[in-house]
Amino acid sequence: MTQFAAPQFVSPSAASTVLDVARLANVSASTVSRILNGNARVSPDKREAVEEAIRKLKFRPNLSARSLRSRSTKTIGILTQDLESPYFTGGTKGIEQGLLGSGYAPLVVPGHWNLAEELDRARLLISRKVDAMIILGGTLGDDHIAEMAQQQPIAVTGRHLVAANVYSFHFDQVAGGRMATEHLISLGHKRIAHITGPVTHSDAVERKEGYLQAHANARLSVDPRLIVEGDYVEEGGERAINSLLDSKVPFSAVFCANDPTLWGARLALHRRGIEVPGQISLVGFDDMPQSMYMTPPVTTVRQPMHQMGQVAAQAVLRALGLVDMESYPLPSLNLVVRETTASFDL
């Protein structure tokens, strides 16, 4: 990598203020402010002069000052978990899109699945006086969220929480797990393994519950040796498949708790020369963008995080009094069948 450093430090040129503008335009600061906000009548000639001065001075209002006085930062805080994971970036992008044109800007901070850090970041957002907050998943307690909602409206995804000033949205993870498993069952699979997510994630245990329910509904027994714990990332999927294979317990399909788990599993299978879906069928969860371009493209339960983000953005906007906006439909989970699953014939 090549680096080019600045020759020397230059002290920042002082930014101009309303007062500078006022002086140049021969009006008072109040008039400048009125023109900036367009909420009062001002004579056309003064308006002209002020606009000219603003242009000349390249004036940009100081948002700290503005929000100190007007108690609105026009900012929505987003507490996400991982800045890199497609699951969260999908949601973030949806929020950003939902906010588009509303005049509100997103402020994104990562919590890293760590309670202390999440709490700290959330408080940072409150300190910054965000007008509303959107929490994507995470491990914050319901009581914490309810308490923070006293300061500003909060939309939260991935949980069901009834409290004043909070709007919660979530997908039915049990139903998702059921869907994935039922698809496999309908293809004739009888010995279906499951690589779970971390037991600390409630959605992981719900997906497993769905896997169990699907078996019960079909009056199929589940072999506990076929359930192995993963960690929601690729390595866990590889490890799990290898231990499954090494245990010699037979199975013809695997329901992976999320897509990265499936990717890891798929690579391990490839390394061992086992064909997908020829010998083993695979179903994932999340439908992350890359899943569509795997070889072969993966069958997975789609979580429309993008739309979820839009809906969450919309909810807080509405809570802030912006009612005149197009309404996005509430999305739901759905199975997208691609090519990692095939019917099982004895």
Partner DNA sequence: ATTGGCTGTGAAATCGATTTCATGATTTTT
Partner DNA sequence: AAAAATCATGAAATCGATTTCACAGCCAAT
Angle, helices 29-37/18-25, rounded to nearest 10 degrees: 110
Is residue 311 involved in binding a second copy (CB under 8 A)?
yes
Is residue 65 involved in binding DNA (CB under 7 A)?
yes
Among 141, 218, 330, 343, binds a second copy (CB under 8 A): 330
Closer residue to DNA in complex, CB, 67/213: 67
Name the residue with tokens 């879906």. 277
**Tokens coding 181:** 């498993």
Closer residue to DNA in complex, CB, 42/175: 42
HEC assignment per residue over 138-150? CCCCHHHHHHHCC
Give the HSE-up count for residue 139: Cα atoms under 13 Å, Cβ half-sphere.
16
Closer residue to a second copy in complex, CB, 139/157: 157
Is residue 263 involved in binding a second copy (CB under 8 A)?
yes
Is residue 109 involved in binding a second copy (CB under 8 A)?
yes
CB of 322 to DNA, least distance (A): 17
Judge whether 269 and 244 are in contact, CB under 8 Å. no
Closer residue to a second copy in complex, CB, 69/219: 69
Name the residue with tokens 């009062």. 40
Is residue 62 involved in binding DNA (CB under 7 A)?
yes
**Tokens coding 287:** 């439908």
Q: Are strands 75-80 and 105-110 parallel, antiparallel or unpaired?
A: parallel
Is residue 105 involved in binding DNA (CB under 7 A)?
no
Among 46, 51, 115, 172, binds a second copy (CB under 8 A): 172
Among 51, 57, 66, 223, binds DNA (CB under 7 A): 66
DSSP state of 258: S
Q: Which stretch binds a second copy (CB under 8 A): 7-15, 135-143, 196-204, 278-286?
A: 7-15
Longest dimension (CA), the chain: 89
Is residue 26 involved in binding a second copy (CB under 8 A)?
no
